[in-house]
Structure 1
Amino acid sequence: MSEDGGAVRSGASPLRRLARVAFLLLALGFGAWVVLGQWDDIRAGFARLSVLSLVLSLLAVLAALCGGMMTWRALLADLGSPLPLRAGARVFFVGQLGKYIPGSLWPVIAQMEMGRELGVPRSRSAAAFFLTLPVQLGSGLVVSGVTLLAARPGAAAPYAWAFLLIPVLAVAFEPRVVNAVLGFGLRKLRREPLERPLTRRGMFTALGWALGGWIAYGLHLAAIVHDLGPSGFSAVLFSVGAFALSWCLGIMTFVVPAGAGVREVAMVAVLAPVLDQGSAIAAALCSRIVIILGDLVCAGLAGLAARRATASNKDHASGKAV
């Protein structure tokens, strides 16, 4: 929605939307073809996964998703809209379900509308959303580069081109640059400037939460890889780097919902030095399933917690009135 109450327009023409759907169907078709071609190895890989590994993987995903929420919440607070933990979790996690819908704007539209109900200006919600992406992308590239080099020095070489973005994103972490870009964008959109500029403290806080999130995501993948291939500290380091790099490659592809397919293909390629193809595909698919489950669990729990808090506040208010 716009500041005057009008609807937000996605800016995507019918032809572009059709192209996105066609791309998604094509990607799913090729993905299904690859999966069917390796089905025996994939089924054998899934059979090797223990219940304990899957539970540990899900717990790590929940921690990683909370890290992402805290990254966004830190940026939003630094911009002038600190939200209580329960309310912030509901806005973030429920809004994030929009990433599974084709189109890149559904999550930010959902967060803008839910945030508005809590007194957060739409422009501030949008700024926090779009700032979260480069923070996670930049920190993810740094984490993947360091951990892959530490675990297997040659594993990162084929993806050296992606790490060229690190210096660019490092400049974007400077609040003065970010504030100037945000101010320019808001002027072009004929919106009021942000009342409170981003600070270094807010940016470093967000980066700290993002780094914690990457470690948790790596542990999520390590729990799966442990049953399919190598184990030990080196394998954990490699898993952190493999997940972070595949996520970054997926987020660079905005035409696909939540990086669907791209992240899995990248993960299979990055895991090639430690797993056979069938096991790597099983690990990538299992990771995707656990993350989807984690998104649903976080959204459900956050919504339930926020509803209970609202009901408790109403009961408290009615008790005072009596």
Structure 2
Amino acid sequence: MTGSAPAPTPARESSTPVAAPTPTGAAGPGRRDWWRLVNQVVAVVFVVALAVGLVLFVRGQDWTPVRDLTTRLDPLHVAVVLVGALLINAAGLLLGVVSWYALFADLGAPVGRWTAARLFFVGFLAKFVPGRFVALPVLLRMGREIEVGPVRLAGVFLLSWAVVALTGMTVALAAGPALLGGATGWLLLAVVPLVVLFTRPDLLNRTLAGLARLLRRPPPSVAASRVGVRRAITTQSLSWVISGHHLWLLAVTAGAPPVRSYLVCVAGFAAATVAGLLVVVAPDGLGVREAVLLVGLATVLPASVATPVVLASRLVCALSEVLVGAGGLAVAQYLHRRRSGPRAPAPTT
């Protein structure tokens, strides 16, 4: 229109890009690259330490009794039994993963199953690392990626450890009559904490809140559900029962009576493993677990035969744990990255 003011024209953008102001405390590209390099170095150190730990474990054992026993048996039969024992124990370990995830889903973070599994397998493999401290920075970094702080992460692992110990001791009671005769009534006291936790999971939340008040910390922002706690207890109990069958298979192959050795092996394996867990100074219960297993197997096998069976059980457990742990970590890492996808770049304005 004649005499009207012209429409405002947009200001021409400068040909020289202007850097957006960096928020206070934000990490610049150089700092991000530095932390990425540090994380990669820590991951490499963890893998190297794991390899060193496995080599030390294999070299630190005297496998002569196992070789002597296998030479007296059919090699093909021994190979089939060892593979079967390995698969049985691996199945039990996978149920342990399900138990841990049931607790993590309650107390950890709303993340995918494989994303959470990465944390489990790193912590699981840490038992083979000399000193175990090398895995701590890796776990903290992985927890920070999914917004799980160190306190909550430690709480999940401690609660999982408690469930593992309580269910293991409860399953171990079945070996009591075979090892201690009829005077086993007092052992039922070990079942009380597990029964209370199973029937009243809400007591766990009250306990955590009470500890927070005692330590003058804010109350927990998350709470364990009844379904999650009960699922964790049930699957971990099944894990013990299934894993113990690998020892029974080895013992029967070595000449143990199948019926009389059943509870000694299945329940005795849980007792021996929990004893090794409680003695924290022994790496992965080395020596402690073998001593408890020998006491039980001595009731159904000669000592000269029970010793190689115990050593073969240790070998089967180590191989299955490494295969499940390393394989599970590789699969979980791949699926985590595939489902996460590339992250969108942060806005610059």
Which residue of 1 is the match for residue 170 of structure 2? 142
Q: Which residue identity lines up with residue 167 of structure 1 in the other structure? A: V
* Cα distance change, pair 79–317 in 1 and its aligned pair in 2 (3 A): closer
TM superposition shift of 1:76: 1.1
Q: Which one has the bigger helix percentage?
A: 1
Corresponding residue for residue 118 of structure 1: 146
Describe the SS at the equivalent of 1:155.
Answer: helix
Contact in 2 for aligned 1:75/1:203 (Cα 8 Å): yes
1:194 maps to 2:248 = no
Unaligned runs of 5+ in 1: 1-27
Alignment of 1:1-322 (within 5 A): 42-47=66-71, 48=73, 50-79=78-107, 81-101=109-129, 110-146=138-174, 148=175, 153-157=177-181, 160=184, 164-173=189-198, 174-187=200-213, 191-230=217-256, 232-313=258-339
Shift of 1:116: 2.6
- In structure 2, how many angstroms separate the alpha carbons of the residues matched to 1:187 and 1:56? 50
CA distance in 2, matches of 1:70, 1:64: 10
Partner Cα separation in structure 1 for residue 228 and residue 275 of structure 2: 26
Counterpart-to-counterpart distance in 1, 2:247 and 2:122: 24
State the shift of 1:187 in Å.
4.7
Larger Rg: 2
1:317, distance to aligned residue in structure 2 (A): 8.0
Identity %: 30
Match of 1:13 in 2: none
Tell me what 1:17 maps to: none
Q: CA deviation at 1:74?
A: 0.4
Give the count of matched residue pairs. 280
Residues 303 and 234 of structure 1: CA distance in aligned 2, closer, same or farther (over 3 Å): same
| 1:201-224 deviation line (CA, Å, top 9, x unaligned) | 211100111012112211221221
Cα deviation 1:46-73 (Å, max 9, x = unaligned):
4447001110111112111111111111
Read off the aligned partner of 2:178 and give its amino acid letter: G
The answer as to whether partners of 1:264 and 1:284 remain within 8 angstroms in 2 is yes
Equivalent residues of 1:86, 1:302 under 8 A apart? no
Q: Structure 1 residues 235, 302: closer, same or farther in 2, change over 3 A?
A: same
Q: Is the 8 A contact 2:109 2:148 kept in 1?
A: yes
Residues 177 and 105 of structure 1: CA distance in aligned 2, closer, same or farther (over 3 Å): farther
For residue 164 of structure 1, report the CA deviation from its aligned partner. Answer: 4.0
Return 5+ residue gaps in structure 2 as ranges.
1-56, 345-349
Higher-RCO chain (CA-CA 8 Å, sequence separation at least 6): 1
Q: Distance in 2 between matches of 1:266 and 1:194?
A: 39
Q: Secondary structure at the match of 2:168?
A: helix
Change (3 A) 1:104 1:135: farther
